[in-house]
Amino acid sequence: MRFKRPKRAPVLLALTLLALICGIRLWNPDFLDRLECMTYDWRVRSAQKFSPPVTSNLAFVSMEDSSISFIRSGRFWERPYGYGLYWPRHVYGRMIEELSAQGAKVVAFDVLFGESRPDHASVKMADGSLIESDDFFALQMQRASNVISAFTADVILPDLFSTNSLALGDISTEKDSDGVLRRIKSFSMRWNGAFKSAAKEYGVNLDTAQIKPDAIILSQPDGKQISVPLDKNGNFDLADFVGDEIPKGRKRFDKPFERVWDMGIVIAAQELKLDLNHAEINLPQGYIRFHGANGIERTIPVDAAGDFYIDWRITPTSPVLLREPIETVLKQDKLRLLGETNGLNDNYRGKLVVFGSAAKGNDLTDRGATPLENDTLLVSKHWNVANSVITNEFIRRAPLALELALIIILGTLTAILTWQSRVLMAAGGAILLAAIYTAATFFIFAKTRFWLPLVYPLAGAMLMEYVILVAHRVMFEEGEKRRVKSIFSKLVSPHVVNELLDAKKLSLGGAHREITIFFADVRGFTAFTDEAQEQVAGYVRTHKLDPASAEKYFEESARETLETVNLYLATVAEAVKKHEGTLDKYIGDCVMAFWNAPAPNEKHALLSLKAAIEAQRAILELNQKRLAQNPARQIENQERIAAGLPPKPMHTALQLGTGINTGLVTVGLMGSDEHGFNYTVFGREVNLASRLEGVSGSGRVIISDATYFHLLRHAPEIATTCKELSPEKVKGFREAVRIYEVPWQNK
C-alpha cells in the first residue's frame, strides 16, 4: 500500500476530533464513566477464568433463614423460649466464645450495634451469677481480643462495645450511579464531639475540612474559615471551643478525629500486622501506604476522595471461603460448655471470620449488584478487600495522562488506516486494531489488574475518527473520484483510471505539460461512403423503389456504413487505451489521443508509438478478416436479390494514416457544468501532429523529430529502424519540419 500524503482538511478534521475527545475525557460525563465501568465488570468476570490467587484463611459465618428459625425455636442454649429477629447480644457473645475457642484470628461484624439493649434478658454465668446481655457480649469481646466492630458515620457505637473491640471497621457502602458496588472508601472520619458540635452550630461540612500538620481549617457557608491549631502531637485544645471551663470528665487536649478504616483493610491489617495508625496518606498523589512487621508494606491506589476499586474475586459461594450458618457455631459452643468435647472441630483456627446476614426478607439483609454477580450479598466486599490487601493485588486504573495518550495514538492510527485504505479495507483494519487493543486490555487486567480504558479510545477516538473521515471521503474525496471516473473511464484504460484515483495530486483545471499527441485517420472511408451511397441510389433508380422502400434502403446502408467506421475507430481506440493513452475525441473518421496526461508517464512518446504500430497491425488483420467474408456476402446478396431485397455492399479494405508529435501544450478540462466537459489538449504542437497525420498517406506512421529524440532516449532499438524523410512544409508552420517514418509491418 502506497502512503498517500494527507490533505489539510482531513488532517485538521482528525486533529479537531482528537482534541474534542480528549476534552470530553477531561470532563468525563457520568454516562460515559458508567460505560467504562461496565467494561470493568466484563473484565472482572473474564479474569475469573484465569483462577486468580486468593488467600485460604477467609471464613463467613452467616445469619440464614435457618438461623432465625433455630433461635426462634427455643433450642438455643439454656433459654426455654425463643427470640425474634433482633436477638439479644449474648447470642453474638456465644458465637465469639466458640470462634475464639477454635482459634479464629479475627471476628469481624457486618452488623451495627447502635444502642444498648438493657431490655434483653440477663445471661446466667457458669458460677450461677447473672450478667446483662450487652455486658456478656462485651465480655466475650474482651476475652477474645480479636473482634472488629462495625462502624458507619451515621451510627454511634456504645462505649461498652467500642472500648472492648480490637478495632472498628467501616462498613459503609456507596454504590455507583448504576447501582453496582465497585469501589469502597478507604476510611471514614470519626470526629471528636467538639468538632461535631461546632460543625452543627456554624454550618460547617466536616467532609471538606482541610487537615494540616499544625491546624484544621473549617470553611463556613459564607466563605469564612475557622482555624483550629494542633500541637506537635496532633491534639487540639478543647478550650478553643468551650473556653477555660472544661466540662467534667472531658480531656482538655485530645485527638480531633480518628480514621476508621474500611472493614476489609482492618481485617487484613490483623493478618499482616499493619500499623494503621501511622499510614502514609497522600490523596493528591493517589496512594495510601501501610507498613507492617518484617518490612511488609502495602500501597493502596486511591482517587482524590480516598476511594479504591474492589478486586472482586470471591463470592459468598466460592469454594475457597469457609461458610457456615451461625447455628452450627452455637451448637458446638453449647457442646463445648457442657463438656461434650468428642467430635468438636476447630475449622476456624487461624481464620479471618466475617459475620453477616444472608437471610432473605428482613432488614438485616444487604444485597445488591457487584461486577461478579447481579444480585449477591454485599458483605462479600469485606473479604474481597481483605484478600486484595493480603495478596497485594489492587485494581490500578490508568492515569489520565496515559488515557489521553491512548486516545491520541489509537485515534491517529485509525485516521491513517482510514485515509490510506479503501473504505472496506479501512473498516477491516480498524476492527482488527480495536480487537487487538480490546484483547490486550482484558489480558493485562487478568494478569496485573491494570485497568486500561476502552470507551474513550475505542468508541470515542477510533469509532468517531473512522466515521467522520469516511463521511468526509464519501462527501468530498469519493465524490471527486466519482467525477474523475465518470470523465476518464471511457477515455483511458482501467489501469490509468486507478492511477488517477490514487494520485496524490491531480490537476484537471489546466496545466502546461509535455505531451505526445496522436492522430489516426481511416483512409478510404469517404470514398467507401460515397460508393455505397451511389450504389444505393443506382439500385433505387433501376428498381424504381417507392419512397418508403427507398428510404428504408438508404437507412440500412447508412447504418452499415456507420457500423463499419465504428469498427475501425474502436480498433484504434482499443490500441490507444491498451498502451495507457488518453482518448481525446473522434473527429469524423479520425481518432485523436495523447499521452502523459492526466496520469504522468515518462515514456509517453514510446507508448504512443507502440499504440500506433499496434493499431496499424490490428487494422491490417481486420481488413484480412473482412475481405475473407466477401465470398459469403456474394452468396447472401444473390439470395437477397432472389427475394426482392437490395444487396449489401461488399467489404473493402480501409487503411490508417497516423501522425505523432511531442511538445509542450495546454491540457485540462474544457466546457462547463451545464453542458459537460472534455479533457483535451490544444496548442501549436497539437496542430503539428494533425498536419503530420495529413501527410502520412495510407498505412504509414509519421513522427516528428521531437518524438524521434524521445525514442532515442527510451527505445533506441526502435529509433534505429525509423527512416528520416525529407523535411515537410506544413500549413501554419514557417519552417519545414523534420519527419520520420516508423516501420510497423511484422517481418
Q: What is the mean pLDDT of residues 676-696?
A: 88
Q: Which of 138-152, 547-561, 681-695 has the lowest mean pLDDT?
A: 547-561
From the number of C-beta atoms within 10 Å of its C-beta (0-12, 13-18, 19+), residue 357 rates as: buried
Q: Please report which confidence band the pLDDT of residue 491 belongs to, taking 50, 70 and 90 as the band edges.
A: very low
The reported pLDDT for the residue numbered 508 is 52
**Whether 112 contacts 359, CB under 8 Å:** no
**Whether 304 contacts 397, CB under 8 Å:** no
Range with the largest mean pLDDT of 412-426, 533-547, 729-743: 729-743
What is the end-to-end Cα distance of the chain in Å, rounded?
A: 43
Amino acid at 262: D
CA distance linking residue 280 with residue 727, whole number of Å = 100
- pLDDT of 422 above 90: no
The reported pLDDT for the residue numbered 218 is 93
CA distance linking residue 496 with residue 491, whole number of Å = 10
Phi, psi of 3 (to 5 degrees): -80, 125
**Whether 693 contacts 520, CB under 8 Å:** yes
From the number of C-beta atoms within 10 Å of its C-beta (0-12, 13-18, 19+), residue 648 rates as: middle
Prior bond of 598 cis (ω within 30°): yes
673-678's contacts with Cβ under 8 Å and 24+ in sequence apart are: 677/487, 678/584, 678/585
The reported pLDDT for the residue numbered 644 is 83
Amino acid at 430: A
CA distance linking residue 658 with residue 590, whole number of Å = 9
Grid cell in block for residue 198:
461546632
The reported pLDDT for the residue numbered 506 is 46
Comparing 709 with 673, the larger pLDDT belongs to 709
Q: Please report how many Cα atoms fall inside a 13 Å half-sphere around the Cα of residue 296, on the Cβ side.
A: 16
**Whether 380 contacts 58, CB under 8 Å:** no
The reported pLDDT for the residue numbered 187 is 96
* Distance (Å) of CA 330 to CA 78, 309, 433: 12, 35, 59
Q: Which of 32-46, 197-211, 475-489, 538-552 has the lowest mean pLDDT?
A: 475-489
The reported pLDDT for the residue numbered 505 is 46
- Bridge partners of 741, per DSSP, are 702, 723
Count of C-beta atoms within a 10 Å radius of residue 191 = 19
Q: What is the mean pLDDT of residues 218-240?
A: 92
Grid cell in block for residue 88:
439479644
Name the DSSP letter for residue 276.
G
The reported pLDDT for the residue numbered 509 is 53
Count of C-beta atoms within a 10 Å radius of residue 530 = 10
Q: What is the pLDDT of residues 83-112, one digit of tens each?
A: 655 688 999 999 999 999 999 999 999 999
SS3 string, 165-201, reads: CCEEEECCCCCCCCCECCEEECEEEEECHHHHHHHHH
- pLDDT of 245 above 60: yes
Q: What is the mean pLDDT of residues 159-181?
A: 94
CA distance linking residue 617 with residue 657, whole number of Å = 12
From the number of C-beta atoms within 10 Å of its C-beta (0-12, 13-18, 19+), residue 737 rates as: middle
Count of C-beta atoms within a 10 Å radius of residue 670 = 14
Q: What is the DSSP string of 288-319?
A: EEEEBGGG-EEEEE--TTSEEE------TT-T
SS3 string, 14-55, reads: HHHHHHHHHHHHHHCCHHHHHHHHHHHHHHHHHHHHHCCCCC
CA distance linking residue 4 with residue 656, whole number of Å = 42
Residue where the block lists cell 475457642: 101
Question: Quick one: which of 167, 91, 78 has its CA closest to 128?
Answer: 78
Which 3 state secondary structure label does DSSP give 719? helix
Grid cell in block for residue 226:
475557622
Q: Determine the distance from the C-alpha atom of residue 594 to the mean position of all C-alpha atoms in its chain, rounded to a whole number.
A: 48
Q: What is the pLDDT of residues 34-92, one digit of tens each?
A: 999 999 999 999 999 888 889 999 999 999 888 887 877 765 555 444 565 568 899 99
Please report the domains of the chain, with CATH numbers, ordered by start residue. Answer: 8-35+395-486 (no CATH), 53-182+263-271+305-391 (no CATH), 504-741 (3.30.70.1230)
Which 3 state secondary structure label does DSSP give 218? strand
Name the DSSP letter for residue 510.
-
**Whether 97 contacts 333, CB under 8 Å:** yes
The reported pLDDT for the residue numbered 547 is 87
The reported pLDDT for the residue numbered 503 is 45
Which 3 state secondary structure label does DSSP give 154? coil
Q: What is the mean pLDDT of residues 236-246?
A: 88
Across the chain, mean pLDDT equals 88
- Bridge partners of 570, per DSSP, are none
The reported pLDDT for the residue numbered 747 is 61
- pLDDT of 369 above 90: yes
Which 3 state secondary structure label does DSSP give 281? strand
Grid cell in block for residue 665:
501544450
Q: Please report which confidence band the pLDDT of residue 499 belongs to, taking 50, 70 and 90 as the band edges.
A: very low
Radius of gyration of the chain (CA): 48
Q: What is the pLDDT of residues 304-343, one digit of tens each?
A: 999 999 999 999 999 999 999 999 999 999 899 888 888 8
Grid cell in block for residue 121:
434478658
* Distance (Å) of CA 366 to CA 63, 171, 173, 181: 12, 11, 10, 12
CA distance linking residue 310 with residue 185, whole number of Å = 10
The reported pLDDT for the residue numbered 361 is 66
- Bridge partners of 664, per DSSP, are 514
Q: What is the mean pLDDT of residues 3-21?
A: 83
